[in-house]
Every structure is written in C-alpha cells, then in structure tokens.
Structure 1
C-alpha cells in the first residue's frame, strides 16, 4: 500500500459508514480507491482484532448463511470511541492532502 493510509485508517474509514465484515471491508477499500489501495486478509483481520482489543471496534456474529455452510459472518462496527478515532484519522489524512486551513 503506497499511500499515507494505513490498514487501520482504511478500516476505521469504511466502518464510519456502516458495519461490515472482513472481506467486504477489503472490497469497499478497493472500490472506493479505484483499485489504488488493495488490502489483504493477512493485514485486515489482525488489525480488526487489535482495534477490537483497543475498544474502537466491536464484533458480532450475523445469521448463519447457507453459502457459508451454515456458518455466520463476523461483522464489525465502530464503538463511540472508534467513531472519534475515525474522525481524527480522517482529519489527519485530509491534512496531508489539502492546504492548511482548507477544512
């Protein structure tokens, strides 16, 4: 990922909009960046676990899905503290991209 965006920042940004599951987070980042940022499972899942340990994200199991052999997906959503952290990250990234005082 050759950008100022970390896996952590990308996850927090995606989760600002709605809860999601791991592979969907990867796809949303790829789609929203027009393929310029491609996260891999090997970085996303450990980052999600770390964010959960820090209290920024909470996870829960969805309904069992036939296409997953009856297994549920694990969904992730921001906590209140996670939403604050996501907004801080957003401001930091914008600060890198926009001239001072532009936002």
Structure 2
C-alpha cells in the first residue's frame, strides 16, 4: 500500500548513523517526486535512524521544534509497515 506524500527509509545494519547518506537519498527522492508533480511532506524512517536524528537534533527538539529533514516531518515507521528490504528507499 502506498501513501501519497510519504517517503520511507530503512538503513542497512551499521549505516543507521550515516546522515549524509540519508540526506543524499532524500534529496534525490524529493527531486523525483517533485518532477512527477507529487507533494511530499513526510519522511518515515526505521527506529534506529529516528533515534540518531532525534539525538542529533536534541537541541531543536528541546525548543519545541518538530523533527524534520529537508523540510519533511520525520516519524518512525510502525513495525507492521516497515519496508521489507533494509537499505532500500522507496516512495510510498
């Protein structure tokens, strides 16, 4: 099942702290979505990546700002909706 406006990411084991890889892939997916006329406003990540992002942006979060990456609201994926293949980005 796909959800308009949502990108999904699940990191390879050991790569969950690679924020540079996260930004690179999200940028590429955003460009593709925009070129297809889609409006993307949310990024769903696996729990390990969410934890790294929350730790990295702890000061912003403590000020009441939402967790975002490149303007997209970030939330952890629910286990039953997790992408089946770790390390694969997909538009959903």
Q: Same fold (TM over 0.5)?
A: no
- Larger RCO, structures 1/2 (Cα 8 Å, 6+ apart): 2
Larger radius of gyration: 1
Which has a greater percent of helix? 1
Normalized against structure 1, the TM-score is what?
0.28
Normalized against structure 2, the TM-score is what?
0.30
